[in-house]
Amino acid sequence: MSMPMSLKFLDVSDNRLSGELSSGVMWLPELTKLLLGKNQLSGKIPPEMSSCSKLQLLDLGDNSFVGEIPPELSQLFSLEISLNLSCNQLSGNLPRNLSGLSKLTSLDISHNYLSGDLIPLTALQNLVSLNISFNSFSGELPDTPFFRKIPVFDLTSNQGLYITGNGTMRERQRGAAATSALKLAMSLLLSVGSLLLLAAAYALFRALRDSSDGESGDGEWEVTLLQKMDLSIEEVVMEMTSANVIGTGSSAIVYRVGEMAVKKMWSAGEEEDGDAFRNEIAALGSIRHRNIVRLLGYATNRRTKLLFYHLPNGSLSSMLQREGKAVAAVWEERYYIALGVAEALAYLHHDCVPTIIHGDVKAMNVLLGDAFEPYLADFGLARLANSANGGGGDCAEWEVDKAAGPPQRIAGSYGYIAPEHASMLPITEKSDVYSYGVVLL
């Protein structure tokens, strides 16, 4: 089957394609996204795949590929959104030159027969998501900030892996299983009186901790920078005053600190807070578009979660409300801003797999660059569309809240919410389009 040389996006995932990968795919020089997951493809991954030099996303998951990962894949220097090789029958060690994928943000090689150490992964500085579970990797887990924070379930069933001083993964899993059994046995023996006693003790502990926090603060900051920042976390916090507030929303308050927007998540409960925070980091780590904001970094302490964005010219909301500024009356600027936001939404709705619904499109969430180019921001309420094809399962590229369905509370900003949202009907891409229409008005 011949395909046009100008083809940029090819999705034939979740079909019954079988046999070896066709060589025709290798000679599509403009291809940026290739999704072949959830088929019955077999044989080795062709080294000629490196000819698709503009690939940003490659999904070969859920097939029957065998052999080693071709070292030539490391020549896909534009690969930055996702590389999914999970759920195959790949074996051997990781290619030593895998470090060539320096832009890659998401890598899933789980459920294979890969072995050896993880040294080739230490140079992937832009990784946001990594899953190497259910393989046969061994050796010491790299001592880097990323690997120190990686969840254990993304490493599970690699019995030879170990952390210095903490034993192997098998020993840790056995210890965890024994602890769980002990907790279960104790819970069955506890009486109602014991539960009440524990509740009272917990309440006392929280009261003492809150009192201690009032004297000693909220603990040390953990800062993760994805791009260079000129200010320290202490300088940023000092500038987060009421005079620098540039907007508030359903999930956060936003401050202007120099040329940055600092988003402080509302404390709506630890679980709910964590979901919105992880949603935003996961979404911005897996999508790339010229009109979608790039995350500079994030910081957390015991109570507070912050997100940092580049903000040289404020938000669209502040520009429209600014008095005495000629730029606010320039319709040509408004036209290009409206066009840029529309292109960002079209990318989320039609180019992302699965489809991403932003959930809170409004003027305050459109940030402006040096030349007043628009950047869609605030992905705390973003979610995957239930009707999207090509995603889901263990091999989805964005694993946050994909099975939650429509939210059980009204989320978004009043005045911008689509009527079906307020009526608790399923949310679709049309909800974003409605909010975009309000922005245009």
Q: Does 273 qualify as catalytic in the annotation?
A: no
Q: Find all residues with CB under 8 Å of 288, minimum gap 6, and list them.
A: 56, 80, 81
Q: Which helix (H) or strand (E) holds 239?
A: none
Give the integer Cα–Cα distance in Å for 25 and 2.
Answer: 9
Q: Count the alpha carbons within 13 Å of 196 in the hemisphere toward its beta carbon.
A: 3
Which of the 8 DSSP states describes residue 69?
Answer: P
Beta strands in 71-120 (DSSP E): 82-84, 89-93, 106-108, 113-116
Residue with structure tokens 């969840």? 151
Give the Å distances, CA to CA, from 109 to 69, 180, 208, 402, 423: 10, 29, 45, 20, 41
The two tokens of residue 261 are 């927007």
Of 59, 275, 360, 432, which one is the catalytic site residue?
360
The angle subtended at Cα 45 by Cα 44 and Cα 49, nearest 5°, is 145
Q: Find all residues with CB under 8 Å of 344, minimum gap 6, and list them.
A: 289, 291, 292, 374, 375, 376
Largest CA distance in the chain: 73
Give me the helices (H) in 287-325, please.
Answer: 316-321
Which of the 8 DSSP states describes residue 237?
Answer: H
Report the SS3 class of residue 299: strand
Q: Which residues are catalytic?
A: 360
